[in-house]
């Protein structure tokens, strides 16, 4: 048995130690001792070592194994770690670990006993997935370097199959040699002479080269781009709204190509204000960079806007992609654009999108921390990351600048190149600099993970380049169907009310469940803050435990002017807890219409947005019409007979409306007769009481009690009984606005109190 590093072990994430088959001597070793152990190239694996991903851990252990004289392989996960949460534990073992197993052939006979290299070696490294601040990391929890076989020498280990790799540059030269008609042996000899190495010392063998040449024959890279363009042309012929563009280089080879679908262009009209341009993936089989434009709709679901394949990664390539995307979207640039930390892309955005606020995704930055700082900071790494994340989420610029300097002094990072770079680019990633801009929640770690999952589905669908456009279309279509199913109005949809405030009840009828959930989070925190009048229309709001500081809120309800120094509304489109506290203190029971953005409303449409073009006088009636339409759809899809009648009657109504003259008449002179039995989605409070909203006027209060649909008996419709109240002003039903004690003598009306 060879001498190696003794085994060290730590309990895994679920509290279990090594499984029963992991026998061996366990020796506890302090982390400081392990940190000091190094080879001439890199560190020996140690307990607590962190990696961004499984692949990063595999590459590190693979490099260590090559120096020691063995290779590794991925072992299957064991235990119950992966159930329901994906893979959370992985073992990497020596290539000679385990024992060969006899397998049955197709005819049911045992296969011949072939000689195997496996001898039950127990050398391994175990990693476990853990999440700090919702950012997953893989940590080494167990490691053993004890082998029961001889380790190979440096000139022998390179011949192991795991290390017989061919670099992209070598692949390109082999391809060129093959086109010149050279034999495989001639290729190997020529490359040995070029690299100045001894005969037979290349990291790949003759068989590897022959397999590579065979793969070149299976994938015709010269014809695939032509087929890809032909496929795009076919899709364009089938649907004129499908858009694509491409560029050929001087050798008539495909250099760049971009495309988008008709549904994506429609979605961009309503939800293209905040966009993610992900360029962190490549199509390795064709050595092309993949760029994907995505966003988020009013239900918080990822929406696809476009795709681009780039041959090179430089300013010119990114500029071509950005200009092409703007052309697809009729020149409409996003308000904000989120990307990874790519300096070439940064320069291209500054040139092509000068009016767009460009920011870096914090997830891409945090994912590099384990490589940048874990070894440097050692046991202080977790504390430093907590401090960094707290700085990232601060509200005021002055606080960020002051605490950043304190953090640098505390951890002694004055000369660290990564810290210097992060500070120089702080306006691109730190929230205190980004809050004045609208990002629709795309900067959150949860939304970033959702976006990554969507892009992974696109990547997992790739096979051949000429089929890639169709495969992306299938993924997008599946995502759109899932989104449509979620957005479909439901007859008995319930929304849980947690505060009982009229503001919450009102928002539940206007916002999507996703946006309402975000507003509800702020409403639950609002009572923890105190509001002080500083001047007319100016308030200071601070937490009840806070002695100094606080946020400055401007609230002039008669002019529908609301703002807060925390910029939460500008950043997310949702009012903050500070503003909600002021509204509640000033007896405002509805959120003013401008602060319920159409982007987050239930009736936000990807094709048209009537409220964006309607005047304020029309907005209530347009909302009423949209509510009627939603109710019509919900009732019609119950049965085929209902659907047929709805289509027939709707066509007749639409034809009649088109025949009416297009005269300009004041909206206030038009009388809309609203059916009193129009039922909006039910709302359930925390006590289990269901409240249903009836549409009369927009100021009509909520009715209490559960209104159940009564089915007709013997073909006769039984009318529903409703309680009707006069217009209320403050949420109490015993009086109306003419004798309201809250409005008496104050010259206030419904608008001044914040009603829509």
Tens digits of per-residue pLDDT, 16-37? Answer: 333 333 433 333 333 333 333 3
- Report the pLDDT averaged over residues 658-669: 57
Q: What is the DSSP string of 463-511?
A: S-HHHHHHHHHHHHHHHHHHHHHHHS--TT-EEEESS--HHHHHHHHHB
3-state secondary structure of 147: strand
Cβ atoms of residues 8 and 34 within 8 Å: yes
Q: Which tops the pLDDT comparison, 446 or 404? A: 404
Residues facing 93 on adjacent strands: 73, 124
57 vs 655: CA distance, rounded Å:
66
Which of 397-411, 449-463, 466-480, 704-718 is least confident?
Answer: 704-718
Beta strands of 212-327 (E only): which ranges?
Answer: 243-248, 254-260, 274-283, 288-296, 302-310
Which of 232-236, 399-403, 417-421, 568-572 is least confident?
Answer: 232-236
Closest to 158 in 3D by CA, of 254, 69, 85:
69
Phi, psi (rounded to 5 degrees) for 200 = 80, 10
Q: Please give the pLDDT value at position 86.
A: 65
Q: Tell me, what DSSP letter sits at residue 34?
A: H
The percent of residues in the chain predicted with pLDDT above 70, rounded, is: 69
3-state secondary structure of 53: coil
* pLDDT bucket at 104, cuts 50 / 70 / 90: low
Q: Enumerate residues 6+ apart whose C-beta is below 8 A from 552.
A: 534, 538, 539, 540, 541, 564, 565
* pLDDT bucket at 186, cuts 50 / 70 / 90: confident
290 vs 294: CA distance, rounded Å:
13
617 vs 677: CA distance, rounded Å:
24
The answer to whether residue 575 scores a pLDDT higher than 90 is: yes
Question: From residue 165, how far is each of 284, 360, 372, 678 by CA, in Å?
Answer: 15, 34, 27, 69
- Report the pLDDT averaged over residues 310-339: 93
346 vs 491: CA distance, rounded Å:
47
Cβ atoms of residues 702 and 685 within 8 Å: no
Closest to 50 in 3D by CA, of 446, 411, 367:
367
324 vs 302: CA distance, rounded Å:
22
Q: Which tops the pLDDT comparison, 308 or 447? A: 308
The answer to whether residue 152 scores a pLDDT higher than 80 is: yes
340 vs 433: CA distance, rounded Å:
17
Question: From residue 167, how far is each of 170, 401, 468, 711 by CA, in Å?
Answer: 5, 45, 25, 72
Closest to 204 in 3D by CA, of 196, 192, 215:
192
Which of 64-73, 158-167, 585-594 is least confident?
Answer: 158-167
Q: Please give the pLDDT value at position 245.
A: 92
The answer to whether residue 688 scores a pLDDT higher than 90 is: no
- Report the pLDDT averaged over residues 522-537: 90
Does the pTM exceed 0.75?
A: no
3-state secondary structure of 360: strand
Q: Please give the pLDDT value at position 378.
A: 85
Place of tokens 């020529």: 190
Question: From residue 594, how far is each of 26, 415, 597 by CA, in Å?
Answer: 65, 48, 6
89 vs 95: CA distance, rounded Å:
19
Which of 157-171, 442-456, 494-508 is least confident?
Answer: 157-171
Which of 436-440, 605-609, 643-647, 701-705 is least confident?
Answer: 701-705
pLDDT, averaged across the chain: 75
664 vs 652: CA distance, rounded Å:
23
For 451-467, letters b (16+ CB in 10 Å) and e give bbebbebbbeebeebbb
Place of tokens 């918080």: 300
Q: Please give the pLDDT value at position 360.
A: 94
Residues facing 2 on adjacent strands: 147
Which of 149-163, 257-271, 629-643, 704-718 is least confident?
Answer: 704-718
375 vs 618: CA distance, rounded Å:
62
- Report the pLDDT averaged over residues 678-704: 39
601 vs 332: CA distance, rounded Å:
22
> What is the signed CA dihedral for 552, 558, 560, 563, rounded to 10 degrees?
0
Q: Please give the pLDDT value at position 658.
A: 78
Which of 111-115, 158-162, 564-568, 736-740 is least confident?
Answer: 736-740
553 vs 537: CA distance, rounded Å:
8
The answer to whether residue 611 scores a pLDDT higher than 80 is: no
582 vs 562: CA distance, rounded Å:
10
Cβ atoms of residues 562 and 579 within 8 Å: yes
- Report the pLDDT averaged over residues 319-344: 93
Q: 300-322: per-residue pLDDT in tens?
A: 888 999 999 998 888 999 999 99
593 vs 597: CA distance, rounded Å:
8
Q: Enumerate residues 6+ apart whose C-beta is below 8 A from 556.
A: 537, 562
How many CB atoms are closer than 10 A to CB 727?
14
3-state secondary structure of 370: helix
Phi-psi region of 534 (alpha: psi -120 to 50; beta: other; left: phi over 0): alpha
* pLDDT bucket at 651, cuts 50 / 70 / 90: confident
The answer to whether residue 139 scores a pLDDT higher than 70 is: yes
- Report the pLDDT averaged over residues 382-387: 90
Phi, psi (rounded to 5 degrees) for 461 = -90, -5
Q: Please give the pLDDT value at position 172.
A: 80
Residues facing 553 on adjacent strands: 539, 564
Q: Please give the pLDDT value at position 727.
A: 41
> What is the signed CA dihedral for 597, 598, 602, 606, rounded to 10 degrees?
-140
Cβ atoms of residues 466 and 231 within 8 Å: yes
Phi-psi region of 691 (alpha: psi -120 to 50; beta: other; left: phi over 0): beta
The answer to whether residue 111 scores a pLDDT higher than 70 is: no
The answer to whether residue 235 scores a pLDDT higher than 80 is: yes
* pLDDT bucket at 547, cuts 50 / 70 / 90: confident
Q: Please give the pLDDT value at position 571.
A: 94
Closest to 495 in 3D by CA, of 478, 509, 480:
509
The answer to whether residue 377 scores a pLDDT higher than 70 is: yes
Q: Tell me how long the chain is.
A: 756
The answer to whether residue 497 scores a pLDDT higher than 60 is: yes
Q: Please give the pLDDT value at position 604.
A: 60
Q: Please give the pLDDT value at position 429.
A: 94
Q: Please give the pLDDT value at position 723.
A: 38
Q: Enumerate residues 6+ apart whose C-beta is below 8 A from 77.
A: 87, 88, 89, 90, 91
* pLDDT bucket at 194, cuts 50 / 70 / 90: confident
Tokens of 28: 């506890």
394 vs 403: CA distance, rounded Å:
10
Phi-psi region of 200 (alpha: psi -120 to 50; beta: other; left: phi over 0): left
Q: Please give the pLDDT value at position 237.
A: 87
Phi, psi (rounded to 5 degrees) for 127 = -125, 145
Cβ atoms of residues 595 and 562 within 8 Å: yes
Closest to 337 in 3D by CA, of 352, 320, 324:
352
Q: Please give the pLDDT value at position 219.
A: 52
45 vs 142: CA distance, rounded Å:
9
Question: From residue 13, how far is each of 138, 139, 186, 461 by CA, in Å?
Answer: 11, 10, 53, 32
The answer to whether residue 732 scores a pLDDT higher than 60 is: no
The percent of residues in the chain predicted with pLDDT above 90, rounded, is: 24
Q: Please give the pLDDT value at position 487.
A: 58
Q: Please give the pLDDT value at position 582.
A: 92
Q: Please give the pLDDT value at position 687.
A: 43
Q: Which tops the pLDDT comparison, 56 or 727? A: 56
* pLDDT bucket at 427, cuts 50 / 70 / 90: very high
Q: Please give the pLDDT value at position 489.
A: 53
- Report the pLDDT averaged over residues 611-629: 56
Q: Please give the pLDDT value at position 705.
A: 37
């Amino acid at each position: 048995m060879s001498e190696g590093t003794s085994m060290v072990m730590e309990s895994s994430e679920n509290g279990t130690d090594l499984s029963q088959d992991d026998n061996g001597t366990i020796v506890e070793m302090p982390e400081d001792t392990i940190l000091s152990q190094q080879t001439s190239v890199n560190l020996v694996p140690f307990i607590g070592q962190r990696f961004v991903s499984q692949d990063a851990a595999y590459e590190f252990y693979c490099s260590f194994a090559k120096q020691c004289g063995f290779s590794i392989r991925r072992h299957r996960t064991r235990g119950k770690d992966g159930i329901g949460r994906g893979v959370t534990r992985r073992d990497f073992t020596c290539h000679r670990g385990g024992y060969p197993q006899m397998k049955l052939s197709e005819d049911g006979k045992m296969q011949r006993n072939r000689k195997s290299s496996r001898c039950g070696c127990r050398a391994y490294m175990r990693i476990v997935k853990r999440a700090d601040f919702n950012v997953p990391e893989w940590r080494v929890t167990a490691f053993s370097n004890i082998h029961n076989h001889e380790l190979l020498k440096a000139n022998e280990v390179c011949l192991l199959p795991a290390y017989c790799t061919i670099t992209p540059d070598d692949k390109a030269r082999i391809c060129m040699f093959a086109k010149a008609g050279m034999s495989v042996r001639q290729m190997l000899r020529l490359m040995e002479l070029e690299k100045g190495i001894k005969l037979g010392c290349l990291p790949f063998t003759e068989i590897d080269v022959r397999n590579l040449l065979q793969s070149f024959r299976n994938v015709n890279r010269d014809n695939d781009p032509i087929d890809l363009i032909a496929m795009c042309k076919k899709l364009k012929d089938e649907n004129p709204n499908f858009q694509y563009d491409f560029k050929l280089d001087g050798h008539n080879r495909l250099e760049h190509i971009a495309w988008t679908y008709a549904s994506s262009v429609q979605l961009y009209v309503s939800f293209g204000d905040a966009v993610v341009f992900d360029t962190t993936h490549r199509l390795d089989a064709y050595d092309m960079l993949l760029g994907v434009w995505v966003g988020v709709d009013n239900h918080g679901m990822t929406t696809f806007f476009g795709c681009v394949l780039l041959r090179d990664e430089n300013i010119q390539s990114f500029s071509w992609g950005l200009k092409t995307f703007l052309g697809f979207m009729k020149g409409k640039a996003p308000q904000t654009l989120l990307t990874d930390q790519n300096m070439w892309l940064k320069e291209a955005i500054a040139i092509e999108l000068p009016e767009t606020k460009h920011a870096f995704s914090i997830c891409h930055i945090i994912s590099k921390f384990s490589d940048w700082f874990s070894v440097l900071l050692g046991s202080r790494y977790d504390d430093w990351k907590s401090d960094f994340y707290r700085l990232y989420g601060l509200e005021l610029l002055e606080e960020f600048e002051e605490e950043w300097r304190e953090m640098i002094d505390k951890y002694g990072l004055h000369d660290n190149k990564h810290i210097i770079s992060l500070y120089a680019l702080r306006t691109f990633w730190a929230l205190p600099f980004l809050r004045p801009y609208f990002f629709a929640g795309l900067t959150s770690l949860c939304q970033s993970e959702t976006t990554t999952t969507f892009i992974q589905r696109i990547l997992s669908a790739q096979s051949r380049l000429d089929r890639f456009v169709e495969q992306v279309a299938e993924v997008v279509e599946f995502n759109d169907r899932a989104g449509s199913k979620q957005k479909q109005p439901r007859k008995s949809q319930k929304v849980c009310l947690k505060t009982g405030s009229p503001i919450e009840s009102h928002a539940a009828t206007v916002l999507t469940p996703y946006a309402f959930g975000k507003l509800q989070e702020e409403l639950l925190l609002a009572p923890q803050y105190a509001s002080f009048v500083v001047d007319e229309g100016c308030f200071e709001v601070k937490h009840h435990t806070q002695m100094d500081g606080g946020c400055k809120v401007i609230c002039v309800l008669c002019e529908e002017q609301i703002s807060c120094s925390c910029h939460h509304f500008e950043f997310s489109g949702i009012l903050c807890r500070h503003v909600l506290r002021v509204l509640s203190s000033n007896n405002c029971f509805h959120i003013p219409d401008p602060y319920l953005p159409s982007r987050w409303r239930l009736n936000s449409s990807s094709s048209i947005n009537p409220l964006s073009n309607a005047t304020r006088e029309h907005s209530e009636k347009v909302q009423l019409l949209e509510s009627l339409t939603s109710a019509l759809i919900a009732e019609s899809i119950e049965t085929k007979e209902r659907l047929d009648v709805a289509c027939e009657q709707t066509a007749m109504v639409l034809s009649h409306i088109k025949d009416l003259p297009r005269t300009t008449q004041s909206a206030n002179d038009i009388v809309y007769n609203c059916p009193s039995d129009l039922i909006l989605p039910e709302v359930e409070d925390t006590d289990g009481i269901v409240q249903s909203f009836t549409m009369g006027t927009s100021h009509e209060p909520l009715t209490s009690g559960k209104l159940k649909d009564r089915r007709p008996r013997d073909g006769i419709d039984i009318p529903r009984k409703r309680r009707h109240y006069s217009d209320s002003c403050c949420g109490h039903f015993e009086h109306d606005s003419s004798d309201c004690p809250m409005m008496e003598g104050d010259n206030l009306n419904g608008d001044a109190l914040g009603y829509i």
